């Protein structure tokens, strides 16, 4: 049986209302990730959420008084439609990554549960650094599927989708190889029965 496209899976989840469960399940991790990103609050900043789903992180970041622009991008048409239904004034795009690129660079790149669905996530990190991120900007990327999270290692087979499995050390190396500096890895959202989201933070000099 051939693997299904991850965007088809997420469209199915949008139809079933699972996006709300994803929002609730990831909320603690995302709040911690945004704290770690530690954006300066002395001037306006711009941000993009990659794999935005129903747009809940965009709406969260957009509540910041210093956020002058927040963009959401997702490969699932139905997820983006849901985002627009919840945030009519929001800026959301349906796009096939890594081929799509934004019209400008950003101070903050946020991504939660997107990167490992790509066959070559290292290339996407390089694109983030070289093309999407402003000098002085920060990328904060969260993933629940990584080698040390043993409970996640059967997800690809169970969902019949591609997942790129890397260890924490491999992800750290990928961030450094992409050009990021001051790279740090964190376990966030840790609770009983969950080893935590792997949050990767990197800056562009």
Angle at 48 between CA 57 and CA 33, to 5 degrees: 50
Question: CB neighbours (10 Å) of residue 1?
Answer: 4
| Domain positions in the chain | 6-203
Q: How far apart are CA 57 and CA 79, in angstroms?
A: 13
Q: How far apart are CA 106 and CA 73, in angstroms?
A: 13
- Sheet containing 197-203: order of strands: 91-94, 67-74, 45-50, 106-112, 133-143, 197-203, 181-188
CA 188 centroid distance within chain:
14
Cα torsion for 134, 135, 138, 144, to the nearest 10°?
70
Q: What is the pLDDT along the chain (205 residues), one digit of tens a residue?
A: 689 999 999 999 888 988 888 888 999 999 999 999 987 666 899 999 999 999 999 999 999 999 999 999 999 999 999 999 999 999 999 999 999 999 999 999 999 999 999 999 999 999 999 999 999 999 999 999 999 999 999 999 999 999 999 999 999 999 999 999 999 999 999 999 999 999 999 999 9
At residue 18, the pLDDT reads 84
Q: Supply the DSSP symbol for 117.
A: G
- 6-203, superfamily in CATH? Vaccinia Virus protein VP39 (3.40.50.150)
Count H helices and E strands in the chain, helices first: 7, 7
Q: In residues, how long is the chain?
A: 205
Q: How far apart are CA 7 and CA 67, in angstroms?
A: 28
Q: Taking a C-beta distance cutoff of 8 angstroms, is the pair 118, 124 a contact?
A: yes
> Nearest-CA neighbor of 39 among 60, 62, 67, 63?
67
Residue 101 tokens, joined: 């690129």
What's phi and psi for 127, nearest 5 deg?
-65, -45
- Please name the helix (run of DSSP H) or strand (run of DSSP E) that holds residue 159, with its range, or none: helix 155-159
Question: CB neighbours (10 Å) of residue 74?
Answer: 27
């Amino acid at each position: 049986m051939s693997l299904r496209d991850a965007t088809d899976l997420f469209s199915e989840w949008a139809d079933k209302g699972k996006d709300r469960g994803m929002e609730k399940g990831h909320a603690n991790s995302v709040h911690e990730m945004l704290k770690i990103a530690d954006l300066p609050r002395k001037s306006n900043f711009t941000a993009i959420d990659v794999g935005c789903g129903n747009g809940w992180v965009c709406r969260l970041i957009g509540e910041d008084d210093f956020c002058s622009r927040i963009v959401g991008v997702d490969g699932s048409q139905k997820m983006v439609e849901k985002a627009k239904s919840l945030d009519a004034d929001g800026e959301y795009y349906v796009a096939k990554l890594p081929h799509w690129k934004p019209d400008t660079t950003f101070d903050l790149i946020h991504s939660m549960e997107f990167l490992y669905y790509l066959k070559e996530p290292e290339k996407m990190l390089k694109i983030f650094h070289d093309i999407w991120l402003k000098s002085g900007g920060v990328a904060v990327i969260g993933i629940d599927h990584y080698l040390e999270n043993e409970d996640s290692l059967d997800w690809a087979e169970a969902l019949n989708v591609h997942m790129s499995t890397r260890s924490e050390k491999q992800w750290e190396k990928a961030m450094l190889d992409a050009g990021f500096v001051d790279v740090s890895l964190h376990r966030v959202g840790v609770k009983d029965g969950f080893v935590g989201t792997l949050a990767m933070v990197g800056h562009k000099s």
